[in-house]
Chain A
Amino acid sequence: MFDLSVVLDYRSELLNGLWMTAWISALAILLGFVIGVLACIARVSGYPVLRAVAAFYISTLRGTPLLVQLSMIFFMLPLIGISLPPLLAAIIALALNSGASQAEILRGGFETLPCGQTEAGWDIGLDRWQILRHVQLPQVVRATIPALVNETIDIIKNSSLVSTIAVTELMRIAHTYSSTTYRPLEFFTAAGLLYLTLTLSAGYIGKYLEKRLSTR
Chain B
Amino acid sequence: MQNVGKPVIKLINVTKRFGDNSVLKGISLDVHAGEVVCIIGGSGSGKSTLLRCVDFLESYDSGEVLVEGRLIGYGSDPAGNLTRLPDWVIQKDLANVVMVFQQFNLWPHKTVLENVMAPLVLVTRMNKTEAKTKALAVLDKVGMAHKADAYPNTLSGGQQQRVAIARALAREPKIMLFDEPTSALDPELVGEVLKVMRTLADDGMTMVVVTHEMGFAAQVADKVVFLANGMIEEQGAPATLFTAPQSPLLKSFLATWAERNVGFFG
* Chain A interface (Cβ < 8 Å from any Cβ of B): 114, 116-117, 119-128, 130, 134-135, 138-139, 142, 213, 216
Contacts and interface: CB of A to CB of B under 8 A. Distances in A.
B95 to A, nearest CB: 7
Interface residues of B, number: 26
B188 interface: no
Given A117-B105, A124-B168, A134-B107, 11 more contacts: A114-B103, A119-B101, A120-B107, A125-B122, A126-B118, A126-B119, A126-B122, A127-B87, A127-B91, A139-B109, A216-B108
B57 A124 contact: no
Interface of B: 55, 57, 87-88, 91, 95, 98-99, 101, 103, 105-109, 118-119, 122-123, 151, 153, 164, 167-168, 170-171
A153 to B, nearest CB: 25
The prevalent SS among residues of A at the interface is helix
B109 A142 contact: yes
A186 to B, nearest CB: 48
14 contacts: A114-B105, A116-B105, A117-B105, A119-B57, A123-B98, A123-B168, A124-B119, A124-B123, A125-B123, A126-B119, A126-B122, A139-B107, A142-B109, A216-B151
Contacts of B109: 138-139, 142, 213, 216
Contacts of B167: 120, 124
Contacts, number: 63
Nearest to A116: B105
A128 B87 CA distance: 9
A2 to B, nearest CB: 51
Contacts of A216: 108-109, 151, 153
A137 to B, nearest CB: 10
Nearest to B118: A134
A134 B106 CA distance: 12
A122 B106 CA distance: 13
A128 B105 CA distance: 17
What are the 10 closest A-B residue pairs judged by CB atoms, nearest first?
Answer: A120-B105, A125-B123, A116-B105, A124-B119, A138-B109, A123-B99, A216-B151, A125-B91, A116-B103, A130-B122
Contact of A125 (B57, B151, B171): B171
Contact of B101 (A116, A128, A138, A139): A116
Nearest to A135: B107
A127 B88 contact: yes
Contacts of A134: 107, 118, 122
A112 to B, nearest CB: 13
Nearest to B164: A120
Contacts of A122: 57, 87, 91
Nearest to A118: B105
Contacts of B101: 116, 119-120
B95 A125 contact: yes
Contacts of B106: 120
Contacts of B88: 127
Contact of A119 (B105, B119, B151): B105
A140 to B, nearest CB: 10
Nearest to A126: B122
Contacts of B57: 119, 122-123
Contacts of A124: 98, 118-119, 123, 167-168, 170-171
Nearest to B57: A119
Nearest to B99: A123
Contacts of A135: 107
A203 to B, nearest CB: 23
Contacts of A142: 109
A104 B60 CA distance: 33
Nearest to B123: A125
Contacts of A213: 109
A112 B109 CA distance: 15
B261 to A, nearest CB: 30
A116 B107 CA distance: 10
B95 A117 contact: no
